[in-house]
Structure 1
């Protein structure tokens, strides 16, 4: 039975719940059944659409409990990253669209403000939830409104400094901020059981908090040393029993650990915290990724993000065979460089498998560093390595490198340190949509002095660029490559060291010149064939470098062609802007040369299939042809009408 043929699960209780207010009408005793049905519905839906699975399964009970206890949407609930929010979407009026997840025109795979009032804040990058929830909490406090700010953040997201920056400032929210730490991997707490659940209920209860408040007021009347001693005794006693001393030092009242799958434990704690008069509170909830679905429990990493799958067997739909992915080609090329050069090392920010560095780490464990979700640290750490003579490769998705832009500028570019940036997921990314698209890296890197910026046109070029970067010690160098599989060209047995700032002619013509950067080269070649068929002899150049430009090549093509079109899968301000600036500075447009730039549109493109995204962006071969004809004032009838 395929995923599309799998029958819908029986969900009689879930069928009565459209919005959280329906959920709150149920007796507590029925919530277990509701959670089981919610889990079954999520498995069935993701089996048809693909998407993030394990994280959402792990928070089913927590999702039910939060919406049952708190007055959402007035209490503003922010899911960190948002990839675990599928159960939340089902309970907040979107069940009828849940099988459109990550498809064109369908639900986003993350929380999104335009989608529902129950998504008060868009999240797709890690560790932003506490800051946002704090903002909601303080705004309500200033306005005299009762709503709280609730952040649900995973233990992995707590590795990012931004989470602690927010917690350090949380005292301004008073009791309106609640942080729920979803601990599903790091095992930072002792085993969860009846005793820990009892302690969590006890220390979050009104009698305990009332007694604690009374004793605190009495202790303030004691002489200074005795008052400090009493405060430390309270913190020490609860820290010994429950942990959480770090959070207490940041000004949070710590409660936990709590079994995140036991509603009888979870709901009383949430109710106590909801009604507490204390300041900001952190509830430590322990969950299991993939909970309730055996294949996902057995392989949490494999079922974190999935293709469509058979819900009975768990077998995922295999993609059609074909060329290796760009990520795997890079990983293989980097391993080869490390075998040749003991100074080559690799840094990733919590994405070892996503960037292909897991293979590098298995072979060179002493030279591989996963720094957690801490891109800022990753970049400056790489800068320190480079300053001490190592050859660091910082492998980060384009969209995540944005989080470390100050470090790229201040710690790398200004000091001209030879950090190598391997930029994965450059360009459009299909189902992950605007939050994960690598649209801006050429623009934000090529504007920096000292930087070299390359873009691979195919997987063979990626091998050459990895090698070139390994040998380049004159300053920072970056190379970008897309998500997905390569074009199928043979990989070089021996990599070539590219001459910095030099492109290549891949097709010679005389009237139209297409200057391509990156993997749109294949579409440029298709367009050239179509233009040739119209009598417009077309040159295609793979510039390879956005910075430094191959000015000699560009100058020659501008002098010998009537139309020049730049083509790139990046935002405004990238290659096209640099070529136009060069042409303007040198007066190359004075003789009537027609220059056009093709790039991603000035908007955040929603998730869709890659083909449809490229059509929206107008970056396919027919769009190149249209651009050239428009520049020549031709219409679709061809050159004859223009000559007439």
Structure 2
């Protein structure tokens, strides 16, 4: 590994224009410095290390060959863009990555002109690239558009929809397939590099065009046969038949860590117009250049802060198991009792806890790749045949399958169980990954049941409730992070659908919570009691069907009713207010308020700071109650 104290190449590169002034002979050393800077940064901040290390040489080569930012460089997902940020004027702020007020962990338009499109979710880059290429053509510009997409992201239907469109439109676009899964054999040295250079060379393309001109004078059947034979012969050698059939000119595969291979091919791609879109297949290694990452099973895809020398991650000691772990363990226990239970996830088995079920029931676990739409409709098919599918998807990713949830599940009243991880705010991943909207977008769908676990024990019971519920779809939402250390049940017991619980009794103000804000409400009730205000705290458990009896009870016996939830406007609080309006409670002087997330996209920060900013912490709830009652908040309320 290069020692940054002895090398100053990176100090010379403030922006890519500086990079392009370096001789090619310096690029290898520069890449080593970028890799070291990336490792040193993520060791301090945490984040997506493996994917960023895998594209160091590719990032250097792309900025060296293409004239960014005039040439548009689009990173799919954006979690591999740390080297890109280092080279595009953000090195001095790179150690603020994923910290409050610092750089985003993904590409972000508002952050830099070198980020032409914001990301966070996968498989959008080719669609964006097609749009930018068409816009360039209409505006009579001549810049290049380059989209970099991983092999995992290529499993999404949206990527193929975009490729189909690009191939038909014939706009000039370069797609780089970053293949780091080794699912396609890696390049075999000099011969592979030679073939890639040959197929991307101007002379080869001219020869191909001459051949086309000659064959055009032959009978159409012969012309067609010759053209297909040439293309299939070339793609048989290189492996690009699928992409060729979609209308792309395929080049590769080439070694994505070998600058001697990358640079000439990228230059050929830049300088040669094949008459349509190009797909360059690059093979890379996740975690490249950092032995602990290379040796790890997950290649250090997402890591906490860590020791650079040993690679050991600094994980705070948990006082309780994570909600994700509790879900996975509970599902596995239920699976032992019911052979009809199956688990479906979209490329996130460990992130959702499905891997714990998979360890016990590998034949009943299905990872469909980054394909949330397919995951939901696949689960619907399983449910239609009498199985009990748990479709485990992050809240923010379930948004991508909304039509399937509505049309293929809810409309047909199929009993798909949606396990919604990362509900609420997620911290360092920021707005792209915040689970703010699921209650609102699911709650408006007929036949849907929505539960939210207040703690890890409740989650165990809600998994059992979902297993027992066969009368249509049901969703259980739970947050990222550790539980509260509550006593855990030996096994889950199904809850009565649509029934909440009173956790603390008072007589002046009622606080009705949905999900983990229950504990902030209980803390707030303690502080309010010290000021002589008696508070009832209730846990709704269900956003839908709403516990109408509980709502009426709270409304009729308290001066004020306040709902609290970790979700957007239009969710649980709206359902409660609608019920109160219909019952006439708002006509009779009840003071009703709904505490929700603010109607903005909240940037990355720690969850605690984000909830404080949103006014959904203990101090915020205390302040809201005092405001509703017309009392001045105590000075210590936000201490």
Using structure 2 for the length normalisation, give the TM-score: 0.98
Of 262, 272, 275 in structure 1, the residue corresponding to residue 271 of structure 2 is 275
Query: Is 2:136 the partner of 1:140?
Result: yes
Corresponding position of 1:3:
none
Aligned positions of 1:165-314 closer than 5 A: 165-171=161-167, 174=170, 176-189=172-185, 191-278=187-274, 279-301=276-298, 303-314=300-311
**Paired residues of 2:186 and 2:255 also in contact (CA < 8 A):** no
**Paired residues of 1:80 and 1:154 also in contact (CA < 8 A):** yes
Query: Is 2:499 the partner of 1:502?
Result: yes
For residue 578 of structure 2, give the secondary structure of its aligned residue in structure 1.
helix
Of 105, 110, 115 in structure 2, the residue corresponding to residue 109 of structure 1 is 105
Aligned positions of 1:479-518 closer than 5 A: 479-518=476-515
Provide Cα deviations, 1:615-643, integer angstroms capped at 9, x if missing partner. Answer: 111101111111111111111269xxxxx
Aligned residues: 632
CA distance in 2, matches of 1:327, 1:425: 9
CA distance in 1, matches of 2:611, 2:186: 50
Of 562, 566, 573 in structure 2, the residue corresponding to residue 576 of structure 1 is 573
For residue 502 of structure 1, give the secondary structure of its aligned residue in structure 2.
coil
Corresponding position of 1:77:
73
Aligned-residue offset at 1:189: 3.5
**Paired residues of 2:182 and 2:283 also in contact (CA < 8 A):** no
Aligned-residue offset at 1:497: 1.1
Q: Comparing 475-484 with 209-218, which one deviates more in the overlay?
A: 209-218
**Paired residues of 2:627 and 2:633 also in contact (CA < 8 A):** no
CA distance in 2, matches of 1:8, 1:636: 53
For residue 265 of structure 1, give the secondary structure of its aligned residue in structure 2.
helix
CA distance in 2, matches of 1:181, 1:636: 57
Corresponding position of 1:151:
147
CA distance in 1, matches of 2:38, 2:82: 7
**Paired residues of 1:454 and 1:478 also in contact (CA < 8 A):** yes
Of 311, 318, 336 in structure 1, the residue corresponding to residue 333 of structure 2 is 336
For residue 435 of structure 1, give the secondary structure of its aligned residue in structure 2.
helix
Aligned-residue offset at 1:201: 0.1
Query: Is 2:354 the partner of 1:374?
Result: no
Corresponding position of 1:634:
631
Of 389, 401, 405 in structure 2, the residue corresponding to residue 404 of structure 1 is 401
CA distance in 1, matches of 2:239, 2:316: 46
For residue 576 of structure 1, give the secondary structure of its aligned residue in structure 2.
helix
For residue 454 of structure 1, give the secondary structure of its aligned residue in structure 2.
strand
**Paired residues of 2:426 and 2:434 also in contact (CA < 8 A):** yes
CA distance in 2, matches of 1:230, 1:464: 65
CA distance in 2, matches of 1:233, 1:589: 76
Provide Cα deviations, 1:274-333, integer angstroms capped at 9, x if missing partner. Answer: 111211000000000011111111115051111111111111112123100000000000
**Paired residues of 1:141 and 1:173 also in contact (CA < 8 A):** no
Of 595, 598, 602 in structure 1, the residue corresponding to residue 595 of structure 2 is 598
**Paired residues of 1:127 and 1:158 also in contact (CA < 8 A):** yes
C-alpha spacing 1:214/1:452, structure 2 compared with 1 (3 Å): same
Aligned-residue offset at 1:120: 0.4
Of 529, 553, 558 in structure 2, the residue corresponding to residue 561 of structure 1 is 558
For residue 236 of structure 1, give the secondary structure of its aligned residue in structure 2.
helix
CA distance in 2, matches of 1:390, 1:9: 61
**Paired residues of 2:425 and 2:607 also in contact (CA < 8 A):** yes
C-alpha spacing 1:147/1:220, structure 2 compared with 1 (3 Å): same
CA distance in 1, matches of 2:475, 2:259: 49
Using structure 1 for the length normalisation, give the TM-score: 0.97
Aligned-residue offset at 1:190: 5.0
**Paired residues of 1:127 and 1:160 also in contact (CA < 8 A):** yes
CA distance in 2, matches of 1:163, 1:375: 13
C-alpha spacing 1:174/1:27, structure 2 compared with 1 (3 Å): farther
**Paired residues of 1:102 and 1:608 also in contact (CA < 8 A):** yes
**Paired residues of 2:186 and 2:283 also in contact (CA < 8 A):** no
Provide Cα deviations, 1:534-565, integer angstroms capped at 9, x if missing partner. Answer: 22111000000000010001101100100000
For residue 428 of structure 2, give the secondary structure of its aligned residue in structure 1.
helix
Query: Is 2:612 the partner of 1:615?
Result: yes
| Structure 2 unpaired stretches of 5+ | none
CA distance in 2, matches of 1:351, 1:248: 30
Aligned-residue offset at 1:173: 5.4
CA distance in 2, matches of 1:412, 1:263: 49
Corresponding position of 2:116:
120
CA distance in 2, matches of 1:174, 1:145: 16
Aligned-residue offset at 1:531: 1.4
Aligned-residue offset at 1:221: 1.8
**Paired residues of 1:506 and 1:541 also in contact (CA < 8 A):** yes
CA distance in 2, matches of 1:339, 1:565: 41
CA distance in 2, matches of 1:179, 1:384: 34
Provide Cα deviations, 1:420-457, integer angstroms capped at 9, x if missing partner. Answer: 00000000000000000000000011111000000000
CA distance in 2, matches of 1:199, 1:483: 47
**Paired residues of 1:383 and 1:411 also in contact (CA < 8 A):** yes
CA distance in 2, matches of 1:280, 1:478: 42
CA distance in 2, matches of 1:14, 1:509: 63
Q: Comparing 283-292 with 164-173, which one deviates more in the overlay?
A: 164-173
| Structure 1 unpaired stretches of 5+ | 1-6, 639-644
Aligned-residue offset at 1:358: 1.2
Aligned-residue offset at 1:175: 5.3
**Paired residues of 2:126 and 2:162 also in contact (CA < 8 A):** yes
Query: Is 2:446 the partner of 1:449?
Result: yes
**Paired residues of 1:216 and 1:231 also in contact (CA < 8 A):** yes
C-alpha spacing 1:198/1:524, structure 2 compared with 1 (3 Å): same
Aligned positions of 1:519-530 closer than 5 A: 519-530=516-527
* Divergent runs of 4+, >2 A: 7-11, 171-176, 189-192
Aligned-residue offset at 1:141: 0.8
**Paired residues of 2:328 and 2:357 also in contact (CA < 8 A):** yes
